[in-house]
Amino acid sequence: MVRQCARILALVLIVPTGALAFYHKVDESPADSASAGDGIRVSGTEYQFSTGEMVVRAGEEVTITFTNAGRNSHNLAIPELDVTTKTIKSGKTATLTFTPETPGTYKFICSVPGHARSGMHGKLIVK
């Protein structure tokens, strides 16, 4: 009887925990990547972007809509491609449109001093 109760207790405690862990992993995947289908939406806060990776195709026009969801002013810049949004205040949105020609991996950052070093960076993959 004690063993049976211990098994039931283990199932009651372990199964929901495992289900939550599975749900969390599934929930994280979309936030780690953005693709250019209908344009890419990215937000920034102190000190991170809503996505760490964006994937686009070489030779195709890309539109990134950047929303500042933080308290401080932020921007989104891709220095190697010489494109950047304006630095915008909290609650504002800026749009960036460009055509990457060369496949590769490019770093995107917030170019406000100290923000990239504090975590506001990611990678743009051009395929």
Please state the rounded mean pLDDT for residues 45-66: 97
* pTM more than 0.75: no
Domains of the chain, by residue range, sit at: 1-29, 33-126
Contact criterion met (CB below 8 Å) for 77 and 94: no
Q: Tokens 């989104």 appear where?
A: 76
Smallest Cα–Cα separation from 121: which of 77, 58, 61, 56?
A: 77
Which is more confident, 43 or 7? Answer: 43
Distance of alpha carbon 75 from alpha carbon 109, whole angstroms: 8
**CA 32 to the chain's CA centroid:** 5
Give, for 19, the enclosing helix (H) or strand (E). Answer: helix 2-28
Q: Which CATH architecture has domain 33-126?
A: Sandwich (2.60)
**Structure confidence at residue 1 (pLDDT):** 56
**Structure confidence at residue 56 (pLDDT):** 97
pLDDT for residue 104 is more than 70: yes
Q: Supply the DSSP symbol for 81.
A: G
Contact criterion met (CB below 8 Å) for 106 and 126: yes
What pairs with residue 65 in β-bridges? 41, 95
